[in-house]
Amino acid sequence: WNRHLMAQLPAVITRLFLTLRDDKEFRDDLPRYLPDPKALQPGNDDLKSVLAGLASALREQPLALDRKSVFQPVCKLCSAPPTLTDWVETDQYAAQLGTGREFLHPDWREHGSILAHFGCGVLTTEQLAELFAKGGCPLPLTTSVDEKLPRDFLDKWIALRPAAAWETTKLKAAPIY
């Protein structure tokens, strides 16, 4: 009997979250209530399996806001590293993410560690490099007359990756720098 109740729990909680998502007073607090598998205490093996099923069910549901304030499946969202957010999370690169993918809403970034359990992650340096290769140079770099802008961008890019000393030296010697 208990096993049957535990098996039904992911579907019930999923419906609850979809209902709460549509409540305007609650929707901004929704990420705070998503279950965090890391918060479980030892000895909760039954709940661990329920949470695994719940995470699987919730990741495909439109529960997280994208940057355009539209609810999307959590697994379809991602964010840029905080230092490059202003450069990357733009229309220029959103189109390069792939079909159905979008950037996470800025107000939801603080819940990134919980959303990561449901498939919403931070772009890696390799993924960022691929976005830059497909989407080109960030538009502010090509349209701004501010000479410090390219240097600012490169400083933030270099800070992201633990590069070898020779690579950092070469980049800092580049004419754009």
Structure tokens at 166: 């020779």
For 177, the 3-state DSSP assignment is coil
Question: Contact 154/111 with Cβ under 8 angstroms?
Answer: no
Give the span between the Cα atoms of 139 and 79, in whole angstroms: 19
- Output the CA–CA distances (angstroms, integers) from residue 129 to 83, 109, 114, 133, 153, in the order listed: 15, 21, 26, 6, 13
Q: What is the mean pLDDT of the chain?
A: 82
Quick one: pLDDT band at residue 104, thresholds 50, 70, 90?
A: very high
Quick one: pLDDT band at residue 174, thresholds 50, 70, 90?
A: low
Higher pLDDT, 166 or 40: 40
Which pLDDT tens digit goes with each residue over 47-99?
777 777 888 888 899 999 999 999 999 999 999 998 888 889 999 999 889 88
Quote the pLDDT of residue 148: 82
